Amino acid sequence: MVKEKDSVIKDHSGSRLLKDKIFLIGIIIFSVITISPILLIIGKLIVKGYRQISLDFLIETTPNTFEAMTSIANGERIPGGIANGITGTLLMVLLAAVIAIPIGLITGIYLYENQEKRLAGVIRNISDILQGVPSIVLGLIAYLWVVKHVTQGFSALAGSTALAIMMLPMIVRSTEETFKMIPNAIKEAALALGVPYYRVILQILIPTGFSGLLTGILLSISRVIGETAPLMLTALGSSVINWDVTKPTSSIPLLIWEFYNDPNMVDLIWSSSLLLMGIVLAFNLISKQIAARRR
């Protein structure tokens, strides 16, 4: 048991503390840089976009290029709005949700019930991989499946198919995670009373985890609302309001893409983007709020 008595080693504490400070300042600066785009982007959208937003903008369909050109030449506000995009987005996202929610919920429940089973492991992995598939590839798939073989042309249904495949893995994951957090005792209490299993799911699990499920669904919707690329390959776009799922349909992002490519309409990109951003942020914040309240 020898003890090194003369351990007078220089500790350089001065320069080490300086390094410590400099590093922290670097962290703060880089973090500020990281978040600055969100402020810059939203700021830009508001400054450039708010003037075009009005009731007309929400309830009228897109003007044609010629109308837009004349009004610009006369120094007037571009007439019309993006009602065809708003209704298209509503139609396709709603349809996608109708397809994806039941499948996603049931798959999530299956995974939760069969944690250790190999098949569940396979399904979980495939769902994870599916979540990483680029949306443009999902557009290709929906084109090959629906545009070519079901609706024989570009359609809202094809667009919804692509969006639904996008939403599916997110809902599966959030359902499983939500149910995992429900104490087993609640479930067992019901089963001990002899309640059939499907009733336990419908009357115990789903109501108990409702806010968690809702958070997952809203987040998945907020992720697909802004999707453009897969819809270019499937829904194509339309200058009129369309409620027929077998017909080409527009959406807000698709309109932004059209405006971007049309020099006469380009003024409309900011207001459309502002509206789109507002919807996405609203879904995002609402779902976060629900999640926060649950805790």
Within positions 107 to 166, which residues make up the interface with other proteins, using CB under 8 A? 107, 109-111, 113, 119, 122-123, 125-137, 139-141, 143-145, 165
By C-beta, is 74 or 132 nearer to other proteins?
132
**Contacts of 213 by beta carbon, 8 Å cutoff, 6+ apart:** 105, 174, 175, 178, 206
For residues 262 and 69, give the distance between their C-alpha atoms in angstroms, rounded to a whole number: 10
Site string for other proteins, 253-272 (x = CB under 8 A): x--xx--x--------xx--
Phi, psi of 141 (to 5 degrees): -60, -50
62 touches 239 (CB < 8 A): yes
By C-beta, is 87 or 258 nearer to other proteins?
258
For residues 157 and 99, give the distance between their C-alpha atoms in angstroms, rounded to a whole number: 10
CB atoms within 10 A of CB 152: 10
DSSP 8-state assignment for residue 62? P
90 touches 159 (CB < 8 A): no
> What residues numbered 189-208 form the site for other proteins, per CB under 8 A?
194, 196-198, 201
User: According to CB under 8 A, which one of 182, 280, 286, 291 is a site residue for other proteins?
Assistant: 280
By C-beta, is 5 or 293 nearer to other proteins?
5
Measured between alpha carbons, how far is residue 88 from residues 126, 225, 269 in Å?
Answer: 30, 11, 17
Q: How far is the CB of 26 from other proteins (least distance, A)?
A: 7
User: In 3D, which of 133, 137, 144 has the Cα closest to residue 168?
Assistant: 133
Told to check if 223 binds other proteins by CB under 8 A, we report yes
> How many helices and strands, by DSSP H and E, does the chain display?
15, 0
User: According to CB under 8 A, which one of 284, 286, 291, 294 is a site residue for other proteins?
Assistant: 284
By C-beta, is 153 or 243 nearer to other proteins?
153
Q: How far is the CB of 72 from other proteins (least distance, A)?
A: 17
Q: How far is the CB of 227 from other proteins (least distance, A)?
A: 7
Told to check if 28 binds other proteins by CB under 8 A, we report yes
Told to check if 5 binds other proteins by CB under 8 A, we report yes
> What residues numbered 39-98 form the site for other proteins, per CB under 8 A?
39-41, 44-45
